[in-house]
Structures are given as C-alpha cells and as structure tokens.
C-alpha cells in the first residue's frame, strides 16, 4: 500500500513540511520520474474531487484518513505500531477505496502493463555471437533485465547495431531507466532501420508508464500504418481518446 507516500504528497500540497522536508521532497520529484508521475496523478485525483465533481465530503474524508494514519503510524515522535489492528485496516482501506474509486470512474486511462510486451531476443542463432551477446540474450529472455543491461553495453562497444540497441532500450525501459531508454529509442527513430517504428512504440510506452497520456498519443500518431503491430497502436490510440 502507498498510504505513507500519499501522506507525503498531501503534506507537501498543504504546506505542512519543514524546509528540509520540502527540499528533500522536491529533490526526489526532480530525480525520480516514477515518483513525480505518481505525484501528478495524486494531484489530478484531488483536483477532480475538489473542482470537477465537487465531492467536498469525500475530499475531507480522504484527508482525515491520511492524517489519522500519519498521526498513528508515521509520526516520528511516536513508536510505530507493528500489529495490523482492525481500525488501521479500516482507515487504510477507506483511503485505497476512495483513491481507486475515482480512478475507476473518472480516469479510465490505459495501463502500461496491458501493452508492455518485451518479446524474445534471438542473437545466439548467429555463428558470430560472442559471450556477452549470448548472456544478453539469456538474461533478457529470462526477464532479468537489470542483469542484461551491462551485457548489452559491453556488446554495443564493439558492435553497435540497431537490433542490439533496440533490445538494450527495451531492457532500460523495463527497469525504469527512462532517460537512457529514451535516448536509445530517439536515436533509432531517427534512422531508417526496421526498428524505427518499434522505437516509436516504446517511446509511447514510456510516456504511458509515466502517465503522460497526451505525449503518448502524439508519438503513437507518428507510427507508420505499415508497422507490423499497428493494430495494437490503433487499440492504444482508441483507449487514449
């Protein structure tokens, strides 16, 4: 559960942090893209509660539950409760239900996991495959993407092909190394290889994972209709409308 993170978000928005806490929070926002994306989503939900739908009671209840959990469990001046008592579960559940309710009803956006298909790499079928390339293939296909990255980097120092770059970029995306992944895919999209549209698709997935739906849609619209998986591109475009 992310109650503690929601509390931090709310405290920041309400100006309830010390200068040190605020600086630390803003540093994390600038350095952790996934944290920043979740913060943007949190603000969007509260904005819907406050402005668009006018559910003041729900907004107040939401904040009260956050405050209760904060006071009872995350206050540094009080010992943490280890046992999951019924009243804690009820408070935590009410936060989760309220947060999920508004996502379900008013923010039905597609999920990254629904479109994330890393595929399989097949490098070792070639006679000139070296040890690093074989290990890159094995770890990638075993879904050990963090382990695959250094193998791909070693291979790219000696043999920079579009194919290897592509699977390297996919590995980076899977471990949330968004800036590095974007750099790889941007280079591929500028070329004329068969991985151009694949690179664009993955750039759109990065934006989708970061919940930047507008940017994701704009990238999807640049993908050629000749792309082998264009049906999925169209499906995601429809979901983003």
The pLDDT value given to residue 88: 39
pLDDT attached to residue 102: 47
Instruction: Measure CA 86 to chain center.
Output: 32
Domains of the chain plus CATH, in order, are 3-108 (no CATH), 113-240 (1.25.40.10)
Q: What's the pLDDT tens digit per position in 71-114?
A: 544 454 544 443 434 433 444 444 454 555 444 444 568 889 89
Q: Which residues of the chain have pLDDT under 70?
A: 1-3, 46-108, 124-129
Q: What is the pLDDT of residue 89?
A: 42
């Amino acid at each position: 559960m992310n109650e503690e993170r929601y509390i931090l978000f709310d405290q920041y928005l309400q100006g309830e942090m010390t200068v040190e806490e605020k600086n630390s929070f803003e540093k994390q926002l600038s350095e952790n893209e996934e944290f920043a994306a979740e913060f943007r989503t949190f603000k969007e939900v509260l904005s819907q509660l406050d402005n668009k739908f006018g559910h003041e009671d729900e907004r107040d209840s939401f904040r009260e539950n956050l405050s209760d959990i904060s006071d009872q469990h995350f206050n540094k001046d009080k010992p943490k409760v280890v046992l999951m008592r019924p009243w804690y579960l009820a408070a935590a559940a009410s936060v989760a239900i309220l947060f999920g309710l508004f996502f379900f009803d008013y923010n039905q956006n597609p999920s990254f996991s629904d479109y994330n298909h890393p595929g399989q790499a097949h490098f070792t079928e070639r006679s000139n495959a070296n040890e690093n390339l074989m290990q890159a293939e094995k770890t990638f296909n075993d879904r050990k993407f963090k382990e695959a990255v250094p193998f791909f980097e070693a291979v790219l120092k000696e043999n920079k092909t579009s194919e290897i770059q592509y699977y390297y970029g996919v590995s980076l995306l899977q471990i949330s190394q968004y800036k590095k992944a974007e750099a790889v895919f941007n280079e591929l999209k500028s070329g004329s290889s068969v991985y151009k549209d694949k690179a664009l698709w993955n750039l759109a997935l990065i934006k989708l994972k970061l919940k930047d739906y507008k940017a994701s849609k704009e990238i999807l619209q640049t993908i050629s209709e000749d792309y082998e998986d264009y049906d999925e591109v169209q499906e995601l475009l429809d979901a983003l409308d």
